[in-house]
Structure 1
Amino acid sequence: MTSRVYVAGVGMIPFVKPGANAPYPVMGAEATALALADAGVGYDMIQQAYAGYVYGDSTCGQRALYQVGMTGIPIINVNNNCSTGSTALFLARQAIESGALDCVLALGFEQMKPGALGAVFTDRPSAFEDFDAVTDELVDARNIPLALRYFGGAGLSHMKKYGTPLASFAKIRAKASRHAKNNPLALFRKELTADDVLNDQVIWPGVMTRLMACPPTCGGAAAVLVSEKFASQHGLRKDVRIAAQAMTTDTASTFKAGDMMQVVGFDMTQAAARRVYETAGVGPEDIDVVELHDCFAHNELITYEALGLCPEGGAARFIDDGDNTYGGKTVTNPSGGLLSKGHPLGATGLAQCYELTRQLRGNAAATQVDGARLGLQHNLGLGGACVVTLYERA
């Protein structure tokens, strides 16, 4: 027996620059309170909680949730790099779908520092040793921070393989800014042109400018998931359900394909998306709105193809035709995405859930996609893990 899983409530606080944030327990508690209020349930009704964060000591989830209530429930701390929030969501969905539980909280938060990401524990082997070794072989840019080398290298691979111009990445960033100007929770709301992006500080000549990378961000987001039985018993909303979800990790192709696009998870994304489409009995052409992992403009472009939104090699045309925005085939990142909304690692996946839930409810205000019925979420963490989730308006 499996139970249908509904998103009863979502909550998100504004994303801000490091230094402008409240401490992580406050951010986590605020996001949780918003999700509980949206669902119309008290914390005493939550049977289990999954708390996601990347940068923090053990049991930070307890530290945040004890401010909401101390009911003795299991609280599981989750860390899966940038896909942490969606991994928490994946575990919460499994608990309900299996019939084990009826009302579960998924929470994500992050208190970040300014600057490029780096290792915290330098006295032991890095989880990225194999990724770094392959990247050193494929990319000649050792003076550039690793995250930029990974995703810039993947973009460069696409440029060489398909003739993709640098302007395509700039157009993605400009689109993100047009969407984010309508999102009061986004970090950057200033509208930019593609020329603004191209003329910004050059990080990697011919490959990337500063505006093509997402900023370090602080914030929190949460979701309350419930079973169909629980929702009916307590009069909770059942207008948005998780129709399908898949999580994948790396396969041998990540390191053996000799392609930076595989190193940053193209095959993981493609495999997860295919499982979701097959489970739900839909195709990429049926998707109305997508929130995908645009940590760099390069990754958004690559992900269009991995999710099947356009053919492999067809991303530049997809962008030029306006098929990634309002009035096109699939509105992508109406929230502004990681590039403009911000990327607090542990919160990102649940912020995507927040946006898509509101889209399918029809109450996304100025970011609303008309008639949205199916929403697809893509959240990627190098190291690696990818979670793809399909939401359906019930």
Structure 2
Amino acid sequence: MQRRVFVVGVGMTKFSKPNENSADYPEMAKEAGQAALADAGIPYSAVKQACVGYVYGDSTCGQRAVYHGLGLTGIPIVNVNNNCATGSTALFMARQLVEGGLADCVLALGFERMAKGSLATGFSDRTNPMDKHMEIMINKYGLASAPVAPQLFASAGKEHMEKYGTNPEYFAKIAWKNHSHSTNNPYSQFQKEYTLDEVLQSRKIFDYLTVLQCCPTSNGAAAAILANEEFVKRHKLQPKAVEILAQVMATDYPSTFEENSCMKMVGYDMTKKAAQKCFEQAGLKPTDVDVIELHDCFSVNEFLTYEALGLCPEGRACDLIDRGDNTYGGKWVINPSGGLISKGHPLGATGLAQVAELCWQLRGLAGRRQVPGAKVALQHNLGLGGAVVVTLFGMGFPRGHR
């Protein structure tokens, strides 16, 4: 029997720029984990298993992060690495443990201590897991002597421009919006508002993508505590319990590699199919959602994700932006936290930071960035190589969806 699963506690650190004085990952994990336990009002001894995500670290960093900051209780600790979708993958695993009845309370924890500058390949003596993805871009647009990640996503945007006549200024409008949202988020790495012209005129990273349209490297940690219905009732956590109404994780389909499409190469079909399944599981549709945290590693990816999630028809994301349906006063508030572009992107923590933001929104605790009357939330976290996790949340008692 599948059990209902609830998020009963969340916590995160402020995201920050990597430097030699940065806190190390055990300290960041301790801060986020202790905050989540305090939010739930339970001791670490109540946690039966932990799923811990990070990308840049040696094996068993998860154990080291938990042992001396939270406790040594002998529980199973599973280390998770799934590129930029690592945090949500830890959440996905934790949810399965609770839903399947294997544990009544599980910790999902993610952290990252990153190096300065663009992401680099860790190993040069073995196959790059992105080699087949990159072949598509190289065959279609070539490879420049510039950081690879912005090239991949800029190529997807270029394909959209060729297919639908999209003006790249719309990508910049998304970054403008997210930087504006982040001014109300004390956890955000950047909290400065920019004009659209400043976004467009900032330093070029690749082609039309400027630095203010790209997520930074970041340090940080985030955590969520998941529990079943019996645990929630036993600990009287009903007022703060946010239910995972549905969750789907997907990996690449043949279309990623067979259709010579840069949009599909960066996860368009993964996202589209995961979202369709997630809405079907929950018995909801995109118009039922109030607030969304999605994977805007680059402004163009948020743009493409509007269409992949079914918020608008393919080729019509510009219309959604023109209507203001991605910010306060519109149909959805998308990335009220500031998103990856402004909040930051410590790979292992990102998915769980999205969860923290959405739980605060649904509980009405998001302060100046609160989305009025938020009842249903959607999370989207993407990792090239690849994986995507789409999750729908609602307040749990009574069932929070409409």
Aligned counterparts, 1:33-72, within 5 A: 33-67=34-68, 68-72=70-74
* Contact in 1 for aligned 2:199/2:210 (Cα 8 Å): yes
- Aligned position for 1:195: 197
TM-score, structure 2 normalization: 0.96
Measured in 2, the distance between the counterparts of 1:304 and 1:145 equals 25
Q: Deviations over 1:156-213 (max 9, x none)?
A: 11111111111101110110011000000001110011111111112233x2111111
Q: Deviations over 1:28-75 (max 9, x none)?
A: 111000000000111111000000000000000001001110000000
Measured in 2, the distance between the counterparts of 1:211 and 1:257 equals 31
Shift in Å, 1:140 = 2.8
- Aligned position for 2:13: 13
Measured in 2, the distance between the counterparts of 1:195 and 1:343 equals 24
Measured in 2, the distance between the counterparts of 1:41 and 1:139 equals 53
Q: Aligned pair 1:218/2:206, yes or no?
A: no
- Aligned position for 2:399: none
Measured in 1, the distance between the counterparts of 2:246 and 2:131 equals 33
Measured in 1, the distance between the counterparts of 2:320 and 2:311 equals 9
> Which of 97, 112, 136 in structure 2 is aligned with 1:95?
97
* Contact in 2 for aligned 1:54/1:346 (Cα 8 Å): yes
Q: Deviations over 1:236-292 (max 9, x none)?
A: 235310000000000111111111100000000001000110001110111100000
Measured in 2, the distance between the counterparts of 1:9 and 1:170 equals 35
Measured in 2, the distance between the counterparts of 1:274 and 1:185 equals 31
Measured in 1, the distance between the counterparts of 2:237 and 2:289 equals 26
Q: SS of 2:133's equivalent? A: helix
Q: SS of 1:76's equivalent? A: strand
Shift in Å, 1:21 = 2.4
* Contact in 2 for aligned 1:10/1:222 (Cα 8 Å): yes
Q: Deviations over 1:114-159 (max 9, x none)?
A: 1111111211111111112122101234222110111111111111
Q: Deviations over 1:270-320 (max 9, x none)?
A: 010001100011101111000000000000000000001111111111112
* Contact in 2 for aligned 1:135/1:260 (Cα 8 Å): yes
> Which deviates the most, 22-31 or 345-354?
22-31
Letter in 1 for 2:2: T
> Which of 357, 368, 371 in structure 1 is aligned with 2:370?
368
* Contact in 2 for aligned 1:171/1:193 (Cα 8 Å): no
> Which of 151, 164, 167 in structure 2 is aligned with 1:165?
167
Q: SS of 1:33's equivalent? A: helix
- Aligned position for 1:150: 152
* Contact in 2 for aligned 1:6/1:240 (Cα 8 Å): yes
* Contact in 1 for aligned 2:361/2:371 (Cα 8 Å): yes
Q: SS of 1:220's equivalent? A: strand
* Contact in 2 for aligned 1:25/1:64 (Cα 8 Å): yes
Letter in 2 for 1:124: R
Measured in 1, the distance between the counterparts of 2:224 and 2:146 equals 37
Letter in 1 for 2:13: I
Letter in 2 for 1:162: Y
- Aligned position for 2:253: 251
* Contact in 2 for aligned 1:136/1:142 (Cα 8 Å): no
Measured in 2, the distance between the counterparts of 1:224 and 1:157 equals 40
* Contact in 2 for aligned 1:36/1:43 (Cα 8 Å): yes
Q: Aligned pair 1:317/2:315, yes or no?
A: no
- Aligned position for 1:111: 113
Q: SS of 1:6's equivalent? A: strand
Aligned length: 393
Letter in 1 for 2:271: T
- Aligned position for 2:400: none
- Aligned position for 1:270: 272
- Aligned position for 1:290: 292
Measured in 1, the distance between the counterparts of 2:195 and 2:320 equals 18
- Aligned position for 1:140: 142
* Contact in 1 for aligned 2:295/2:381 (Cα 8 Å): yes
Q: SS of 1:340's equivalent? A: helix
Measured in 2, the distance between the counterparts of 1:369 and 1:309 equals 18
Letter in 2 for 1:275: K
* Contact in 2 for aligned 1:21/1:219 (Cα 8 Å): no
Letter in 2 for 1:73: I
Measured in 1, the distance between the counterparts of 2:205 and 2:234 equals 55
- Aligned position for 2:84: 82
Measured in 2, the distance between the counterparts of 1:368 and 1:345 equals 25
* Contact in 2 for aligned 1:179/1:367 (Cα 8 Å): yes
Identity of aligned residues (%): 56
- What runs of 5+ residues in structure 2 fail to find an aligned partner? 397-402
- Aligned position for 1:2: 2
Letter in 2 for 1:17: K
User: What is the RMSD of the two structures over their aligned residues, measured on CA atoms?
Assistant: 0.9
Q: Deviations over 1:364-384 (max 9, x none)?
A: 111100000000000000000
TM-score, structure 1 normalization: 0.98
Letter in 2 for 1:374: V
Aligned counterparts, 1:307-386, within 5 A: 307-386=309-388
Structure 1 stretches of 4+ with a deviation exceeding 6 A read none
Measured in 2, the distance between the counterparts of 1:131 and 1:373 equals 37
Letter in 2 for 1:32: G
> Which deviates the most, 374-383 or 228-237?
228-237
- Aligned position for 1:23: 24
